[in-house]
Structure 1
Amino acid sequence: MNKNSFGMKTARLALLTSAGMVALGMASAYAQEEAPDSERKMDTVLVTAQQREQNLQEVPITLQVLSADALSTLAADNMGDIDAFVPGLEVSDGSPTQPKYKIRGIQTSDFGVGTDPAVGIYVDGVYAARTGASLLAFNDVERIEVIKGPQGTLFGRNSAAGAVSITTRKPSDKFEAELGVRAGEYNKQRVEALLNLPVNDKVAIRLNGVMNKRDGIYTDAATGQDLGREDNWAIKGALRWDLTPDTRAILTYTHDELDQDARPAIGIVNVPDAPGQPAYPVDETAYLNPFNAQVRNDVINNSEARELDEIDLAITHDFGSFTLASTTAYRTFDTNNREDEDGTNRIDLYFDTENVESNESFYQEFRATGETGPLNWVVGASYYDESADQRSNTFAYTDTINTALGNLGLGTPFSDIDNFVLIPFGIDARLLGNGWREDMINHGDFKAYAAFADVIWEVTDKLSLTGGVRYTKDEKSFSWLNGPRVAPELDATLAALEEAGILGLVGASPEDFQFDLVFDMSGLAGVPCDNGVTVAEGVTCELNDDWSNVSPRFVVDYKLADNILLFASYAKGYKAGGFNSVEQASRFNNEDVTNYEAGIKSTFPSAGLLINASVFQYTYNDKQAISLVSGVNGSNVSQYVVETSDEEASGVDLQVEWGPTDALSFFGNVQYINVLYKDRVTRSGIDLSGSPTGEPEWSFAFGGQYVLDLQGNGEIEFSASHAYTGERRCNAESDGQGSCATYASFSVGESQERTDIRAFWTAESGRYQVGAFVKNVFDNRYVSGINNITVGTQGTAFVGLTDPQMWGVDFKYVY
């Protein structure tokens, strides 16, 4: 590190330290003198981060809350639109059916159904099984709680990094009707409608629907077609029935459909006119600038689709001394995602992947909450059952296979036979131009049982102690089936040539063309499976395993004053073990994280000021990460494999809100984090222990809003928000994974900035609202990562880019 870099980091740390000292100094002053009677009131934000409804400022956990108004200000359609403004949260939503969530540097990079996520996503308390159902359209959202740090005790399994809890509005006793319309650049169209209908004093119905469309933000240079189009819609209906004065039931049904383009692949390799081939091995110094490169994609049936249905039943009964709640949920979804994986429109380089999933899950939880003297407690038990099917298809042409074999030094049999035998002798048959598909078929049956308890003991008016524990047991069964490659047209041609004796003239037979290139598992032949077989082509290999875990948490909090809370906590989180869906007979153990945290939550109503800050340190053991590695299991093709590591991190979170007047307010959120590999050696032998994992050290967001009173003609609200994420910290493996590198024409992993602005007028009656917004005002665009899946065989690398500037207008009517 150079001296200037060290100086800047020291200055930034000093700034955070100073902010913390200022907060403590103000806390001391506040404790010594009572606030004047004229102090302004600050809004109370209620959250359920501790599975009870509490004031945000009384919850000894680091979390950030986004209200429905905040989502509207950001013109957000889903979680991928807000993560930049929540430091510590990262949502990779390039493929909506395969999003990845990260909190404080921890995420699960795997896309397979054999692996669970490290960040738990919950909608109205129900766990969103698999990533395929975790990025849904925002409709009728009340608030979003981003809860940082392990939440194993309160939320359960697969919340080792933290949790995102989405709460939707419930049917009310008031008639409501709303219509919102948004239109903008790239033919953006979004319509949301709401109707809340109280039937009588015991029954109410709430209906909501949203439709969202957008044209592509790229144009294919060869066909002129749009790429990257969006199209999804969702409906939700809820029935609330107060069966008795003490018993309430809410039945909710949700249907969500997505049918749009798969993410485009922007090629960065110079591809000469056919039959010329790109440089092999790939020449990274000659990478094209992706911001002005022509986009050519030829993926067959380009699509990303999802169809989801969910029905939830929540019943609560108040027994007086405690409340018993039952949550029952059934969810099913099907997804399909077929993507271009070469970034060209050349048949001899063509390669696509298709991920097809079908998922069915059932969840049941019973929870009791109450207060007994100085004890505020919650106890409960849950059961989770999931059945998941996944088919990972890869499709190429024999031209592609011929190119790959040639690059790997294994000859070019398809073109050789065509060019030296079939064409010269006028034989009407070709080996090139035929389709070639390889499949990996997975099935998983997963069950999880849990029992939990959490007690807050109010020792005195100022001191509280919290203790909690959750026991979880996971049972999993998982299978792989890798059949022979599928190429019916090729096989028919080979059979005809064999019968005519032509193949024999060149010393070949149809069996010579019966091989897998992508899913070549020959290196695993003979590895035992739990169902009495060994790994072999066309044989189903099944593994069964179970894991158990105890996740405790202990918290001490002290009220320095009525509006100042100090806290310290110890918590553990747990992520169940699992299986790599594309590596037969693989299994890995559960992951666990231990987190220590201390912080302050403070409000100063007389100044309209809120300051929350915390410091944390965690150790993450046995973290599983998907890496693209070549030469695995005897294959020459790069394959996704799971690698294990231990990580450790320390950092600071800071949140500031200031409203100097009723009309003017500001916010600021900062995270500093240092994440290092404690122990990791890659399969290729690189020792990364002590190296950064790639996580940026700094991220922050700040902004403000001003409300102009038009004196009886309504009001206009102006808002601006700015987000910054620091550069990723490279290690010796970053370049191969395409996550952090600098090239002549662009960089991957550089710092990123985004600025959003919005202005809207609200009528005096509150019934009408008209506004305009600009997202990414300065049109800052970045390379989100390099995909190297076809670099080792075809020499074709491609990238994804962040979204450009987008503007729009919206209208809302509230009855």
Structure 2
Amino acid sequence: MDRLRHSRLRLALTPLAFASMVFSAAAQDGATTTTPPAADEASTLDAVIVTVERREQDLQKYAGTAQAISGDDARALGINNELRNIQTVVPGLSMSNQEGNLEIFIRGVGSANNTELGDPGAAPHINGAYIARPRGLGGMFYDVERVEINKGPQGTLRGRNALAGSLNIVTKRPDLEHFGGYAQVEAGNRDHRAGEFALNLPLGGWAALRFAGYSVEKDSSFRNAGDPRLDPAGIQDEKGGRVSFLYQPDDKLSVFAMADMGKEGGTGYPGANIWSAACGSADPDTCPDSPGLAPEDLDLRNVVYRGAQGTLDSTNWGAMANVSYDFGPIVAEYNTSYRDVDYRQTNAASEGILWPGRDVSPRGPGNPDGFDYDNFSTQYWETLSQSTTHELRLSSSGDGRFQWTGGAFHFNEDQQVGYLSLSDKGTWFSGTEFTMPRVNGRSTALFADGTFELNDRTRLKAGVRRTREAKSRYGIGGNWALGLPGQGGDFATRLGTEGFRPAFMKRPNFDVTGLTSQADMARFLLQGILQHGQRDTIAEQIGGVANGGDFGCVDRPDIGGDTIDCPYQPWVQVNAIPSQQFGESRFQFNDWRAGVEFDLSDDHMLYGTVSTGHKSGGFNDTFDVNVIPETFSPESIKAYEIGSKMSHRWFGRPGTFNVSAFYYDYTDQVFQDLTVISLNNDGEPAGYSLVNRNIGRSAIYGIEAESVTRFGGGFMLHVNALALDSEIKEGTVGDARSQNYAAGGVTSLIDLTGNELPLASRFTGNVRLQQMTELSFGSLDWQLLASYRSAYYLTQYNNRDVAYVDQAGEFVRGESAAEAGFPDRQRGEVTLNAGIGLTSLDGRWRYELYGSNLLDNDVSQKAIVGSRLNIRFLNDARAYGLRVRYQF
């Protein structure tokens, strides 16, 4: 019992190098306060504990590349409640946020497909439990022990969608022996106000409870250059709570359970469409009023907001349990989890960003050519997800020559999703809706993994996993299209004004087969509206048609005034409603790994591994009930890695130096392509949609090195660097940038061969310096982190020229990506984070100053590119503040 408790307490130490025992002067919750050893007297580094192989182990004994960042270190550098900022500490890690989805890329591998048919390419976990929809994942980042980032495919043990690797948030577990906790308050720039607490309650020495919670409010880093009545996107209003239970009556049985809930409000996640500012085409019909400015010459946070106010309402809750029992020769462990996501967002609508000289004065009686803020075109999102995981594992016990584990895994997710993009004041088009009341995904796997000790220095490793996956979906998807124009092309329909709410799952019917009459289609469109906007006209215009009558004609100043031709001409009609969406896919695949470890000495290990990983496949949308949806297969990577892990003593000071070289063979790579979804009367393409296809193959290789050294005077230096090269070996797709609407929306093809993968910088690295000094009244510690990331592309197009073609595919004209409004190269940047803390002599009070992104660089972390779209999602702007924590 004492041995087990000591092991659990050891895990509470910060795992980045030797971390909090030396640099976080705060005492453990409720434990007797002890003064950390002076740096000159310390002789070893604390072990960095990770669970990459589904068991606790010293990182220096793991044959692979991983990093662990402690909650204390992240907090000190201002990363708390901004999980994506961890990328500044981890070379090769790229994280961005689109509509609440945390997208994780590792070494250029990941996924930006956030639809109900998409899956992450780097698997997110909390306490080892897989998270299918990483919405609100940043809201779990409080009272955290550490965050583990595992680099490279983890197909055998981490399993589902660990193509690029995995990210695991490990929360603090209850302490069986000590009553205690902490209370923390925080204030910073952008009117940042936050609070956090934890309370640990032992229950007789064999069980314990831990309660934790947080709340944060913060103004946006974006500014409103448009309608002054609107708040910009990005205002945070978050809160959450967690309760954990640990039961350990003896060395054999352990039961851990946790329940948590998070709530996100505010004004939604921000993006900035820079197309109108960047476009500088010589074609007067493309962007006649645009200045053709480079992103580096623009303030990407000055957004011209108009119309609908952005809102976010998201609730994310879950429960998990882990039960393990040591039967002697075998340890049995059962893990289960449930996750429920209820996400709703109204996008903050905008007309791009403000550029020098752009006139955004509001339109009015004295300024008829001014900016029209009375435009409520925007997007509405709803994601409901209920997912469960079950895993049973059996593993060897003791210290025998053959250590093994095997088991079974099952995952199930049910989703209900809604998306509605409305065009207010539409002429011939009023929006696009995708509403899916039934979406299901399942994954079942059997796996086995083992390590055999050939002799005292050599170990062989091998593992295999067999996976079966299935997906299915039923719903509707496509356009709301109305033909209600006024004379001269003036706008004739209002839709989505103040108070508008889409029906989504409250639609009475999702069967559109046979709905071809004007009455049927009008009725179906109206059923998609739960609450009409205060100034909407659609009910008046097509309500009579839904009942078998005529179109109603509306003539109002805000839709053209006296230019509407009443009654409408006989060709006025409801053009289209969403199509029936259905589909299913089934796949089976194997993952495996093999490797060897060799100890040159007790402190120096060499290793070589070959491993594979997959990301789930799926199917695409369909726009014809008679057409079977096109499927795409799982992506796969085979990774080769060799490395060295060494603990050393330089000039009597302890340290570690690790280096690895790797090569990825990335096959069946999915790129977004364009497909024809409709034809005109002449049989020519008249409509296109994005689809996912296995049309790519890439090669990725690189070298990564990490060094941690403790020096005299309480100093520690951590250096980490990655040199990476990626190349698309094959892949030809439709160029979404080149849609030629004069020719029915046709696009040209672009060969991506030779391009770099998106988000794959050739070099990333960081240097982190820390020091702790003992004072007569306590202890002072500080740390400085300098990170550099070289330039990278945001899309697979890599700034290649844009070519426009006609219906026959013949070249019409071409221009550079910048001229067309699609520059997609993010220049290299240096990021500085810093923190300083003072801890009282008794260890109860701690005061911290922190700053992140101190140079206030605006960095594009993701882009969505399409016709007249170049939407950038940015890093968090400069943040700094003061934090006070009381521990008891």
Q: 1:411: which partner in 2?
A: none
Instruction: From the superposition, tell whether residues 737 and 623 of structure 1 become closer, same or farther in structure 2 (CA, over 3 Å).
Output: farther
SS in 2 for 1:647: strand
The one of 408, 419, 424 equivalent to 1:381 is 408
Are 1:599 and 2:643 matched, yes or no?
yes
| Matched ranges for 1:405-416 at <5 A | none
SS in 2 for 1:117: coil
How far apart, in 2, do the equivalents of 1:687 and 1:303 lie? 40
The one of 517, 535, 538 equivalent to 1:490 is 538
Q: After TM superposition, give the deviation of residue 590 of structure 1 in Å.
A: 1.1
Are 1:514 and 2:560 matched, yes or no?
no
Corresponding letter in the other structure for 1:660: F
Is the 8 Å Cα contact of residues 268 and 287 (structure 1) preserved in structure 2? no
Corresponding letter in the other structure for 1:608: P
| Higher mean C-alpha displacement, 121-130 vs 680-689 | 680-689
| Higher mean C-alpha displacement, 578-587 vs 350-359 | 578-587
**TM-score, reference length from structure 2:** 0.75
| Matched ranges for 1:691-770 at <5 A | 691-694=755-758, 695-710=760-775, 712-729=776-793, 733-735=797-799, 748-770=825-847
The one of 320, 323, 332 equivalent to 1:315 is 323
| Higher mean C-alpha displacement, 280-289 vs 206-215 | 280-289
Instruction: From the superposition, tell whether residues 622 and 756 of structure 1 become closer, same or farther in structure 2 (CA, over 3 Å).
Output: same
Instruction: From the superposition, tell whether residues 269 and 104 of structure 1 become closer, same or farther in structure 2 (CA, over 3 Å).
Output: closer
Are 1:140 and 2:143 matched, yes or no?
yes
* 1:722-772 Cα deviation digits (max 9, x unpaired): 11111115888234899x966799974111221011111011211111011
Corresponding letter in the other structure for 2:323: I
How far apart, in 1, do the equivalents of 2:186 and 2:688 lie? 44
* 1:281-317 Cα deviation digits (max 9, x unpaired): 1366534853178522125241233211211121111
Are 1:458 and 2:439 matched, yes or no?
no
Q: After TM superposition, give the deviation of residue 785 of structure 1 in Å.
A: 5.3
Q: After TM superposition, give the deviation of residue 507 of structure 1 in Å.
A: 4.2
How far apart, in 1, do the equivalents of 2:60 and 2:433 lie? 52
Corresponding letter in the other structure for 2:287: V
Q: 1:6: which partner in 2?
A: none
Q: 1:614: which partner in 2?
A: 660
Q: 2:62: which partner in 1?
A: 59
How far apart, in 2, do the equivalents of 1:500 and 1:192 lie? 57
Is the 8 Å Cα contact of residues 341 and 790 (structure 1) preserved in structure 2? no
The one of 150, 153, 157 equivalent to 2:153 is 150
| Higher mean C-alpha displacement, 185-194 vs 772-781 | 772-781
How far apart, in 2, do the equivalents of 1:92 and 1:503 lie? 48
The one of 698, 705, 728 equivalent to 1:647 is 698
Q: 2:222: which partner in 1?
A: 218
How far apart, in 1, do the equivalents of 2:614 and 2:700 lie? 17
Q: 1:108: which partner in 2?
A: 111
Corresponding letter in the other structure for 2:454: V
How far apart, in 1, do the equivalents of 2:414 and 2:300 lie? 44
SS in 1 for 2:646: strand
How far apart, in 2, do the equivalents of 1:673 and 1:448 lie? 32
Q: 1:468: which partner in 2?
A: 463
Is the 8 Å Cα contact of residues 324 and 366 (structure 1) preserved in structure 2? yes
Is the 8 Å Cα contact of residues 307 and 373 (structure 2) preserved in structure 1? no
* 1:659-710 Cα deviation digits (max 9, x unpaired): 1126001111111111111210112421112322242211111120121221
The one of 88, 96, 101 equivalent to 1:98 is 101
Are 1:171 and 2:174 matched, yes or no?
yes
The one of 53, 58, 73 equivalent to 1:70 is 73
SS in 1 for 2:751: coil
Q: After TM superposition, give the deviation of residue 320 of structure 1 in Å.
A: 1.8
Is the 8 Å Cα contact of residues 231 and 259 (structure 1) preserved in structure 2? yes
| Higher mean C-alpha displacement, 49-58 vs 367-376 | 367-376
How far apart, in 2, do the equivalents of 1:582 and 1:770 lie? 58
SS in 2 for 1:80: helix
How far apart, in 1, do the equivalents of 2:44 and 2:478 lie? 67
How far apart, in 2, do the equivalents of 1:81 and 1:327 lie? 30
Gaps of 5+ in 2: 1-39, 278-282, 353-370, 481-524, 530-536, 554-563, 680-684, 735-747, 803-815
How far apart, in 2, do the equivalents of 1:576 and 1:774 lie? 39
Q: After TM superposition, give the deviation of residue 217 of structure 1 in Å.
A: 2.3
* 1:618-664 Cα deviation digits (max 9, x unpaired): 1111122346x597655767744324311111111111111112600
How far apart, in 2, do the equivalents of 1:346 and 1:787 lie? 25
How far apart, in 1, do the equivalents of 2:41 and 2:236 lie? 51
The one of 198, 203, 207 equivalent to 1:203 is 207
Q: After TM superposition, give the deviation of residue 79 of structure 1 in Å.
A: 2.1
Q: Give identity over the alignment, percent.
A: 21
Is the 8 Å Cα contact of residues 218 and 226 (structure 1) preserved in structure 2? no
Corresponding letter in the other structure for 2:702: G
| Matched ranges for 1:230-241 at <5 A | 230-241=236-247
Corresponding letter in the other structure for 2:785: S
Q: 1:521: which partner in 2?
A: none
How far apart, in 1, do the equivalents of 2:345 and 2:552 lie? 41
The one of 333, 356, 362 equivalent to 2:388 is 362
Is the 8 Å Cα contact of residues 194 and 209 (structure 1) preserved in structure 2? yes
The one of 91, 115, 123 equivalent to 1:87 is 91
SS in 2 for 1:143: strand
Q: After TM superposition, give the deviation of residue 258 of structure 1 in Å.
A: 0.7
How far apart, in 2, do the equivalents of 1:381 and 1:746 lie? 47
SS in 2 for 1:70: helix
How far apart, in 2, do the equivalents of 1:730 and 1:764 lie? 49
How far apart, in 2, do the equivalents of 1:197 and 1:340 lie? 44
| Higher mean C-alpha displacement, 236-245 vs 680-689 | 236-245
Q: 2:34: which partner in 1?
A: none
Q: After TM superposition, give the deviation of residue 593 of structure 1 in Å.
A: 0.7
Q: 2:287: which partner in 1?
A: 282
* 1:324-371 Cα deviation digits (max 9, x unpaired): 111111111111222245435736875322221100111111112224
The one of 422, 431, 439 equivalent to 1:395 is 422
Corresponding letter in the other structure for 1:600: S
How far apart, in 1, do the equivalents of 2:102 and 2:604 lie? 38
How far apart, in 2, do the equivalents of 1:506 and 1:352 lie? 27
How far apart, in 1, do the equivalents of 2:823 and 2:451 lie? 53
The one of 696, 721, 726 equivalent to 1:670 is 721
* 1:565-595 Cα deviation digits (max 9, x unpaired): 1000000001121134687823211111100
Corresponding letter in the other structure for 1:482: G
Q: 1:422: which partner in 2?
A: none
How far apart, in 1, do the equivalents of 2:69 and 2:248 lie? 29
Instruction: From the superposition, tell whether residues 751 and 742 of structure 1 become closer, same or farther in structure 2 (CA, over 3 Å).
Output: farther
How far apart, in 2, do the equivalents of 1:746 and 1:677 lie? 19
Q: After TM superposition, give the deviation of residue 41 of structure 1 in Å.
A: 1.3
Instruction: From the superposition, tell whether residues 472 and 43 of structure 1 become closer, same or farther in structure 2 (CA, over 3 Å).
Output: same
How far apart, in 2, do the equivalents of 1:319 and 1:206 lie? 28
Gaps of 5+ in 1: 1-36, 272-277, 406-435, 517-536
Instruction: From the superposition, tell whether residues 727 and 211 of structure 1 become closer, same or farther in structure 2 (CA, over 3 Å).
Output: same
Corresponding letter in the other structure for 2:575: Q
Q: After TM superposition, give the deviation of residue 81 of structure 1 in Å.
A: 1.7
Q: 1:528: which partner in 2?
A: none
Cα-Cα RMSD: 3.1
**TM-score, reference length from structure 1:** 0.81
How far apart, in 2, do the equivalents of 1:601 and 1:770 lie? 36
How far apart, in 2, do the equivalents of 1:140 and 1:506 lie? 63
How far apart, in 2, do the equivalents of 1:459 and 1:394 lie? 62
Are 1:578 and 2:651 matched, yes or no?
no
Corresponding letter in the other structure for 1:354: Y
Is the 8 Å Cα contact of residues 304 and 351 (structure 2) preserved in structure 1? yes
Is the 8 Å Cα contact of residues 113 and 130 (structure 1) preserved in structure 2? no
How far apart, in 2, do the equivalents of 1:67 and 1:354 lie? 37
How far apart, in 1, do the equivalents of 2:872 and 2:622 lie? 23
Counting matched residue pairs gives 710
Is the 8 Å Cα contact of residues 91 and 720 (structure 2) preserved in structure 1? yes
Q: After TM superposition, give the deviation of residue 395 of structure 1 in Å.
A: 1.2
Are 1:353 and 2:379 matched, yes or no?
yes
Q: 1:530: which partner in 2?
A: none
